[in-house]
Structure 1
């Protein structure tokens, strides 16, 4: 059993919502609900973990291999995430996944060597449990009745993910100098588990109840068919897979900072906490985009602007001011793109129904594909044409991909009922 609410086209499109409907959904809460996964993925696995392993004498190559393994669940979590559509409410699964991930994280930190096979295995299980937060949030966002609420939820979800990740890196890095690894693991586990209690404040959503297994299978099959087995699913799938606003340059721009005359400390600040806060601000800025603008059109438009910001680094003089301006605008607009990407995922998903978490996980996982191949492509461009080639490669690929799909969506009428209504 899981959540569903019977609503009409007017409510979903945000054309006839009452004030009570606007306030009862509390979409801003998703900026807090994502905190457990933000701490685990952005704060620990892709944050302080390499620093902690380096202190233990683990080589850079080994650390890279471990982190690559630990981020794998972000791509394959659709294999187990559908469980959040069954047995309990999604918010309950969110809390259970967070607590399990926190406990496992604490156990991993109690191992003498974080690079040991046992520690890595426990960390991997923690990452897998943490993904239940993502699928749970996705299912709950898909059950929101008002399009404006969906946009706000997606913006706060992405902004919270970036902000809490940056805060976790700062807190854990500071505490690492003051306490042992075991105690640090307890703190890390608490930072993952405790915020999940905020799920109790999430608005209660009605449950889908079916009497027979056949009815459940039939409903799920119908929902998957209405989402994926239609011609209009093709452009949405391409939007997920095209090299559009992938953010791949985020991890590569520090490597070219010296080419623009930027020193190590300035680079660390710009691409560290300040960068995360810039992206969080960009995510929240997406709430300013009116809900009447189709999510796919808004996303692709912002993606074109994001590609243009890379043009500053590509074509501008190689000076510190060029780097600061280009990176600042790039990080801010990529945050806005992330928020609008979530809005597109929800537009593709339609209404959550019985299988919302599973369908959300599949769609969201597709978004990791361009991150992988664009990282390689950006690196190739940097090796071939130098510092300018890195940003130029992503700028051109992103602009071309966004232009093609934007032209398509602008020539198609918005059909709210078909996209948003549950069968």
Structure 2
């Protein structure tokens, strides 16, 4: 009986690579701003602190995106939300390029950047939901790996390709923005092969209710689902991890700013942030996922954060040459990919089922807090003390985050142990 009733609502399993393509626009925005526009703004005389502040501000929508996440579930379809938000994101990058031409449009650039990042979060939410509903259980690990590879690869593509076009092909920044918009359009093509997931019985019943009733139902269901996560030891630790600067990869947001310290050309910056950077990050995603299947996931995530600390110190001490920049920046990009895969694996482990897409977005929102504030701190440190000190500050912040998490882990485990002893004694 159960099998028969569930069959009409089952969605066909989608090939995992589709989610790599669909998530590309989400990554393009960050890469375009953090690499191509950052490089052009630096050449125009904008300070590193101002550029880092703009990049840090771009993480604000990603920090608060859980507030508008229910819209994707309450109205329209996931495919329609993806199509509309992705097209607006593409036009947003064109507008960002237009307003980045000189410092006089800094205010307009900031506003357009925030709007574009908001629309890109909606695009990402639609992909999260499509992936959760259109992937077979036995393929969800592979889908998550492709998903993160597309996210980081999209960032590398948005930065490296745009900068390469501007520097080598001598096209305008505005023209590079139109190329980014074209990539957003191409990313919509997989929707032709991905039908809208079938409605569950609960969704079918809710479709006949008022919008207010559906909204209340989503909120109450979400609160119960979230509380079940927070009340668990693993869920509480995952929330703590989200706020801590472990594996933030903030240095990778400033490759363009520090390129001159390494005597690196624009082509080298494009290489590190583009094709080579994308391959390194994607390899890190796959490697990190492999490690997470063989180690306790919180331990694996902390190891990935420690690897970033070590690489930051090595970069501070290494000879400042273009070759060193390519090798060490690529190694750091691998570590960033590993940390992203580790975070996804950790979150997927603790959120379980239920409102999985919304819970994932809440965790992802929180995880953007340390990326934003560490990027801002790095920019301030670079302007005041130079690149070497900035890298050491980054490493110190990472060590502090690991120590805080170790302390939280000891406290949570000791309380759980004491509670278990009390229950045994009773």
What SS does the aligned partner of 1:243 have?
Answer: coil
Q: Aligned-pair distance for 1:258? A: 7.2
| Structure 2 CA distance for aligned equivalents of residues 180 and 381 of structure 1 | 31
Cα–Cα, structure 1 residues 223 and 310, in superposed 2: closer, same or farther, change >3 Å?
Answer: same
Match of 1:309 in 2: 311
Provide the C-alpha distance between the structure 2 equivalents of 1:267 and 1:155, rounded to a whole number of angstroms.
27
Judge conservation of contact 2:301–2:343 (CA < 8 Å) in 1.
yes
3-state SS, counterpart of residue 367 of structure 1: helix
Partner secondary structure for residue 284 of structure 1:
helix
**Alpha-carbon offset, residue 39 of structure 1:** 2.0
- Does the Cα contact within 8 Å between 2:289 and 2:345 map onto a contact in 1? no
Trace 1:252-291 onto structure 2 (pairs within 5 A).
Answer: 252=254, 262-265=262-265, 268=269, 271-273=272-274, 274-289=276-291, 291=293
Shift in alpha-carbon separation, 1:388–1:25, aligned structure 2, 3 A: same
Q: Deviations over 1:83-139 (max 9, x none)?
A: 112224434322221122224444666779672755654443232111112222333
Structure 1 residues 112, 364: closer, same or farther in 2, change over 3 A?
Answer: closer
Unpaired segments ≥5 residues, structure 2: 415-426
Between Structure 1 and Structure 2, which shows a larger proportion of helix residues? Answer: 2
Aligned residue pairs total: 387
* 8 Å CA contact 1:154, 1:340 repeated in 2: no
Where does 1:11-410 land on structure 2 (aligned, <5 Å)?
Answer: 24-43=13-32, 45-50=33-38, 59-60=46-47, 69-106=57-94, 115=105, 121-143=111-133, 149-173=139-163, 175-176=165-166, 185-202=177-194, 205-208=197-200, 209=203, 210-211=205-206, 212=209, 213=213, 215-252=217-254, 262-265=262-265, 268=269, 271-273=272-274, 274-289=276-291, 291=293, 293-313=295-315, 318=319, 320=321, 325-351=327-353, 353=354, 355-375=355-375, 378=378, 389-399=389-399, 401-402=401-402, 405=405, 408=409
Q: Distance in 1 between matches of 2:42 and 2:312?
A: 32
C-alpha spacing 1:258/1:107, structure 2 compared with 1 (3 Å) = closer
Counterpart contact for 1:113–1:119, Cα < 8 Å: no
In structure 2, C-alpha distance between the alignment counterparts of 1:33 and 1:383, rounded to whole Å? 37
**TM-score after normalising by structure 2:** 0.72
Cα shift readout 1:18-74 (whole Å, capped 9, x = no counterpart)? xxx9x935333221111111222322x22323456678x684587666555444322
Name the CA distance, whole Å, in 2 between partners of 1:144 and 1:186: 31
Q: RMSD of aligned C-alpha atoms?
A: 4.2
Q: Which moved more, 1:227-236 or 1:189-198?
A: 227-236
Mapped contact 2:52–2:379 kept (Cα < 8 A): no
Partner SS state of residue 188, structure 2 = helix
SS of equivalent to 2:155: helix
Please say if residues 160 and 271 of structure 2, whose CA atoms lie closer than 8 Å, have aligned partners that are also in contact: no
